[in-house]
Amino acid sequence: MSRKQALNGKEKAAVLLITLGPQKSAEIFKHLSEEEIEELTLEIANMRTVSPDEKQSVLEDFYQLCVAQEYISEGGINYAKDVLERALGSQKAVDIINKLTASLQVRPFEFIRKADPEQLLTYIQSEHPQTIALILAYLTPNQAAQILSNLSHDKQSEVARRIAVMDRTSPEIIKEIEKVLENKFSNMVSQDFTTAGGIQSIVNILHSVDRGTEKLIMEELEIQDAELSEEIRKRMFVFEDIVNLDSRSIQRFTKEIDNEQWSIALKGASEEVKEVIFSNMSKRLVEMIREDMEFMGPVRLKDIEEAQQNIVNVIRRLEEEGEIVTPRGGDEIVV
């Protein structure tokens, strides 16, 4: 069906997904919330036809927004605006920047994300652990990991704990901390209350530090806050990460799991995980598990997740015992 009025945001997103095709659209859906997926699915279902002109217009808008966002990442909003004005003219550049800033906020401390971590460490290592935690929460995991690894041992676990429990930070506090660094790096525009930190943030950082630092931090966290430590450990290695293990490690931990657990856990596993697991089992065992899965019927998601977590717990135990090695960003050897 043809639309004479300009497309709204959801309609443009639907047109983009239709244009990209089912395979690429499925990959995009993996990064959306359930609500967003439902809304876009409904929009696509109600969109009978898309004209070539509409496709071209949406693709052009999408391309320009992507380019503009890349410019912002490289040099900030003013840099992006300058480049876009030279390429597209003042009005078009303003329109694109407005679209981006309406939906995407530039993160605090963006100006130090290009700074050398060693140089940054010099200026923040004497700060209060809460201040360091706030700054690290806004850096890339690799940057934050490098700085965290070089902090004094007594600060490492404290900063890690504060990142994990961090939630929302007022713009006044962010502005105050930014002022301390602005003389050496840059100015940053303040913004509304911003969410940073949290358990996943420290997990991403710990994935990038060396094992010695990770072990020290986790041991200290276990003493300070056992519940928080356990929650972090659960996310350090998830079931889908099995695909990153080497064959020897997979063959070692599969011996610890009975057929019933495998049948339930693999019910909700991706084909990639199944292929990796089955390729490290005997043909007979694979046949038995497949038969169990077939005759088992529907399984509750809760039961699948529990079985997968049990397997992850076995992997974690074997790693602690030195039986297997799970990959980390700080490792010299990728397994």
115 shares a domain with 80: no
186 shares a domain with 132: yes
The distance from CA 286 to its chain's CA centroid, rounded to whole angstroms, is 33
Q: Which two tokens stand for residue 93?
A: 């550049």
Q: Which of 85, 103, 121 is the last residue of a domain?
A: 103
Average pLDDT over residues 218-232: 82
* Secondary structure element (H or E) that encloses residue 195, with its range: strand 194-195
Q: Tens of pLDDT along 181-199? A: 665 554 333 333 344 557 7
Residue 329, C-beta contacts closer than 8 angstroms, at least 6 positions apart: 141, 142, 145, 207, 208, 209
What is the pLDDT, as a whole number, of residue 287?
A: 92
271 shares a domain with 219: no
Q: Which two tokens stand for residue 42?
A: 């409904």
279 shares a domain with 219: no
Q: Which of 68, 87, 103 is the last residue of a domain?
A: 103
Q: Which two tokens stand for residue 195?
A: 């969410």
Q: Tens of pLDDT along 35-57? A: 777 777 777 777 767 778 888 88
16 shares a domain with 80: yes
Give residue 61's pLDDT band: very low, low, confident or very high (50, 70, 90): confident
166 shares a domain with 115: yes
Q: Which of 77, 103, 129 is the last residue of a domain?
A: 103
Number of domains in the chain: 3
267 shares a domain with 154: no
44 shares a domain with 118: no
What is the pLDDT, as a whole number, of residue 196?
A: 54
Residue type, 27: E
pLDDT at 332 over 50: no
Residue 145, C-beta contacts closer than 8 angstroms, at least 6 positions apart: 205, 206, 207, 208, 209, 329, 330
Average pLDDT over residues 259-287: 90
Whole domain around residue 187: which residue ranges? 110-235
Which CATH number is 247's domain given?
1.10.220.30
Q: Tens of pLDDT along 236-256? A: 777 888 888 889 999 999 889
91 shares a domain with 15: yes
pLDDT at 320 over 60: yes
Q: How much of the chain is in helix, strand and coil states, percent to nearest 5?
A: 70, 0, 30
Asked which of 55-59, 65-69, 147-151, 313-317 is least confident by mean pLDDT, the reply is 65-69
267 shares a domain with 202: no
194 forms bridges with which residues in the sheet? 169
What is the pLDDT, as a whole number, of residue 48?
A: 64
241 shares a domain with 167: no
Q: Is the residue at 334 inside a domain?
A: no
* Cα–Cα dist 68/96, whole Å: 7
Q: Is the residue at 149 inside a domain?
A: yes
pLDDT at 91 over 70: yes
Average pLDDT, the chain: 76
pLDDT at 123 over 80: no
Buried-state track 218-245, b at ≥16 Cβ within 10 A, e below 16 = bebbeeebeebbeebbeebbebeebeeb
